[in-house]
Structure 1
Amino acid sequence: MAQTKVRKLTPRQREIYEFLKDKILNRGYGPTVREIGARFGIRSPNGVMCHLKALEKKGLIIRESHMSRAIQLVEWPPDRKWGVRFVGDLSASGVKASGRGEERLDFSDVGNDENLDCYRMKDNSLSDEHIVAGDFVLVRKADSYTSGTLVLVRKRGKRPTLARYFVEEGEIRLEYPGKKGTDTATKNDVLGELVGVIRRY
């Protein structure tokens, strides 16, 4: 279906579509309007937007408003394998192969979870929790949280921060990594539970 639509594109639209597809499949997210303009020598952002609107109208991409990189492919290439190739378990003594042929771990549920938000650490205030500047932390909103886990908290008049979450005698108690003392919170103060950390080298 996608190939039929691609054949109906103008040469420039086809070039831009292939550029978008390459970035999304190999980098993980689409290019910005500025990147597209620089790649194809289009000086005006409006010129780039005209091409993107045409691709969207022809059913090849979806764009989310107010997000500079939010370009998605309508159809995922059928020959594209999902997930990351799993080789085996790693330790100081080496790698123990999985022994199950080619196995792929599918993390697509992370990207498709509407209750999941991502934040980038700007300092090393959470180094005691092995989270450092540049790390991306994944926070999932839920109806309840497990006592002892890290949660993102935003109390009135303060910026969001990660804290250790405890429930004692029906009350929420918070412990902030690297700081002495504790604090209390309400359920509405908790934005979500830390469920993952992504670090790029």
Structure 2
Amino acid sequence: MDNAHLTRKQHEFFTFIVDYKKENEVWPTYREIADHFGYASPNSVTQNIQALLKKGYLVKRNDEEYDLPSDKKSLLGETEEQEGIPVRGLIAAGSLQEAVEANLGSITLDTLFPDLDDLFALRVTGFSMKDVGIYDGDFVLLMDTDVKNGDIGAVLYDGETSLKKIYWDDNGLRLEPANEEYDDIIIEPDVFEEVRIIGKYIGHVNRQGFQRAIPLVA
């Protein structure tokens, strides 16, 4: 299940159960959660648990208990040895040299993405960005960082999200698709406060693997 953004209340719920697990080494009971948040019924706890399962922040174990997925284990201070691409030796990039084979460790996600903590992924629905190689079903990688004029980014507006090229000036915000079959989305300056830039596009993943974003030419 793809991770999705949590509402404020879901984030508070998730933070509480994770902090409880870190402190007590067990998950809180439904009654303890209900008492903490003042829920009248444990049904409210069930609804929040189901929402976190659906959004990928929790997973079901074989014993039907919930747990954190592997990519969030670090929130509990638990780390798993990362698998990676093995580095099998040295190769010359100058004059020919004797081949040197050795186990030099591996290239992990942390190696490939130094700012891994600032990255997240969303799955694409639709074809408005097909001319830059982003298709329906692809996973776009987004970074929580500043977006420059002309960058591709994910925008949240009026309860809806959109992946577009982002341009802004005194006339407002323009979200430009990369498909001539789609029209630009224009957002007037007086509603800028309702617009949230979710993240900057840095690449996407499809059946061919990882495709890095092409840097803008200055």
Taking structure 1 as the reference length, what is the TM-score of the superposition? 0.48
Taking structure 2 as the reference length, what is the TM-score of the superposition? 0.45
